Amino acid sequence: VTIRTILDGKGALYQQIYRSIREDILSGRLKRGERLPSVRELASDFGASRMVIQDSLECLAADGFVYSSPGRGVFVSDNLDGAGPHGGSRPASARVESPLDQSALSEFAMRALSASPADAFYKRLSARAPIFDFAYWMPATTDSFRAKWVQAAAAAAKLIGASYPDPHGEPLLRQEIAKYVCRARDVFCEPEDVVVCSGAQQAFDLISRCFKGEGGAVAFEEPGYFNARRSFEANGFAIAPIGVDDKGLQTFLLDEMAPRNARLLYATPSHQMPVGGILPLERRRELLDWAERRSAYIIEDDYDGEFRFAAKYVPSLKSMDEKGRVFYVGTFSKTILPSLRLAYVVPPKQLLGAFVNAKMIIDHGASSFVQTAAALFLESGAFAQHLAAVKRIYAERRDLLIESLSARIPEARLIDSGAGLHVHLYLGEAFRGKIGPLLSALSQKSILLSDPRDYYMDPANCDSLILGYAQIHPELIDEGVAHIAAQLQMMKAAA
């Protein structure tokens, strides 16, 4: 057999020899089942040591191109399907895949394909560190938090078992969550009523899967939290938008606006996302009544209910739920970190079994390691201390932001309900259709804001900004607001 000895000069010699022989195999110059020249002959052909040839042959064998038969030599594999780091053919970059045959895809995949690209969203989140960070989704951390979290994580690493987690959630974490939601949110429940999820986002998905998506609808706050909306849409639900005002969901519109097939409703009663209203008691009653009359279920997304500053305490909607109509969803994304992907759900009792089984089917349970670390963090008291510390930080930043906005942009209407980690600023109708250029101009000045248009079914209706205060350094708040005010003035003057 004569083989070619083409060294391309890229990388180590054994890699070049590997590529040269691989090319001969792929091009058919070396036939399937054919014996390669001996190591000695190859060493002489390539002008390399036997050791180098051995390394090349080992790589070819590991990638499935050749196999060695003791005492007989090295042979080209009979079956090259799937051989090689590139699937036995050319590198991925050089491959041209066949066009996608969409007829094989599920309705879910088709809807996921048409959703806005997840990559772009992630890139925006992880964009280069802005100087003025008004993002609302990133909580503050302290040195003491880091130290305590590392302690909890180290202890968890020693404690966790080798087997699969309980799909319901680690018992210790469920116990701690049950105590916490009873105390802090009046959600009176036992550890067995709590299910641990990988983020509130997974809770929305699991709840969706327990209801009829195709032909069904979900009554949804408008504007509302787009990541929840996307989950319902992907699961086949039609979205029935119900308006919100400064007090939250306009529950008096439900009878008229929510279609008969809406058996689910999503709401953020503790702090409406994004406008900020806190749902008053009468509306809470109206909402629960509506659900009971329609045999519908409410998803109460209590994503930042623990943060109250000027607002008086309002217990969760779940605490008023006598009839088992509410899925209570809480998350550690604001109280610890969103990167943990850890949330909890207290479903209506009758749906608990279906919900836990859905969790099992989808991912076999959340990571034991992360759950155990969180459980120890709560159990040790570090969580309560952390919450107290960050609340002080947020209270200061909030006051500075509100003061600065009132002084520098007095013409805008500020919605501040005294709760949560962001405020909402109505700029007025003159800014409809101009939010995109405004955000781009601000990002040039290294000012980061979440894109408020995402929260609207029709983004053209958006004429507001969402300003978070959890991340931004207090000394930068007024300067950041001054830049925003100047940009608004400039755009008004140009109009």
Ligand X SMILES: Cc1ncc(COP(=O)(O)O)c(C=O)c1O
Binding residues for ligand X, rule: CB under 6 A, are: 137, 199-201, 225, 268, 273, 301, 303, 331, 333, 338, 343
Q: Which residues contact 486 (CB under 8 A, 6 or more apart)?
A: none
User: Which residue's CB is nearer to ligand X, number 14 or number 225?
Assistant: 225
Please report how close the Cβ of residue 237 comes to ligand X at its closest, in angstroms: 17
Asked if 343 contacts 330 with a C-beta cutoff of 8 angstroms, the reply is yes
Place of tokens 């997304």: 301
Closest by Cα among 477, 482, 490, 478 to 434: 490
d(CA 408, CA 487): 12
In the chain, the largest separation of any two C-alpha atoms, in whole Å, equals 90
User: Which residue's CB is nearer to ligand X, number 273 or number 481?
Assistant: 273
User: Which residue's CB is nearer to ligand X, number 66 or number 135?
Assistant: 135
Please report how close the Cβ of residue 223 comes to ligand X at its closest, in angstroms: 11
User: Which residue's CB is nearer to ligand X, number 337 or number 491?
Assistant: 337
Closest by Cα among 345, 268, 358 to 307: 268
Closest by Cα among 218, 356, 393 to 298: 218
Please report how close the Cβ of residue 320 comes to ligand X at its closest, in angstroms: 20
User: Which residue's CB is nearer to ligand X, number 175 or number 202?
Assistant: 202
User: 67 is written with which tokens?
Assistant: 């196999």
Please report how close the Cβ of residue 249 comes to ligand X at its closest, in angstroms: 13
Please report how close the Cβ of residue 244 comes to ligand X at its closest, in angstroms: 12
Please report how close the Cβ of residue 407 comes to ligand X at its closest, in angstroms: 28
CB atoms under 10 Å from CB of 438, counted, come to 19
d(CA 427, CA 389): 33
User: Which residue's CB is nearer to ligand X, number 275 or number 409?
Assistant: 275
What are the backbone dihedrals phi and psi of residue 248, each rounded to the nearest 5 degrees, phi first?
Answer: 105, -155
User: Which residue's CB is nearer to ligand X, number 187 or number 343?
Assistant: 343
Q: Which residue is nearest to ligand X (CB)?
A: 199
Asked if 250 contacts 258 with a C-beta cutoff of 8 angstroms, the reply is no
Q: Exposed/middle/buried for 78, CB within 10 Å: 0-12, 13-18, 19+?
A: exposed
d(CA 201, CA 216): 20
Contacts 24+ apart (CB under 8 A), 329-332: 329/200, 329/203, 329/204, 329/299, 329/300, 329/301, 329/302, 329/303, 330/177, 330/181, 330/185, 330/187, 330/200, 330/302, 330/303, 330/305, 331/199, 331/200, 331/303, 332/374
d(CA 149, CA 336): 9
Q: Which residues contact 410 (CB under 8 A, 6 or more apart)?
A: none
Please report how close the Cβ of residue 212 comes to ligand X at its closest, in angstroms: 23
d(CA 204, CA 299): 8
Please report how close the Cβ of residue 199 comes to ligand X at its closest, in angstroms: 3
Please report how close the Cβ of residue 471 comes to ligand X at its closest, in angstroms: 12
User: Which residue's CB is nearer to ligand X, number 206 or number 400?
Assistant: 206
User: Which residue's CB is nearer to ligand X, number 200 or number 265?
Assistant: 200
User: Which residue's CB is nearer to ligand X, number 225 or number 431?
Assistant: 225
CA 99 to chain centre: 30
User: Which residue's CB is nearer to ligand X, number 230 or number 386?
Assistant: 230
Which helix (H) or strand (E) covers residue 426, if one does? strand 422-426
Please report how close the Cβ of residue 375 comes to ligand X at its closest, in angstroms: 17
User: Which residue's CB is nearer to ligand X, number 56 or number 333?
Assistant: 333
Please report how close the Cβ of residue 226 comes to ligand X at its closest, in angstroms: 9
User: Which residue's CB is nearer to ligand X, number 14 or number 455?
Assistant: 455
Beta-bridge partners for 74 = 68
Please report how close the Cβ of residue 339 comes to ligand X at its closest, in angstroms: 9
Residue 201 has, within 13 A of its CA and on its CB side, a CA count of: 13
Asked if the bond preceding 223 is cis, omega within 30° of 0, the reply is: yes
Please report how close the Cβ of residue 227 comes to ligand X at its closest, in angstroms: 7
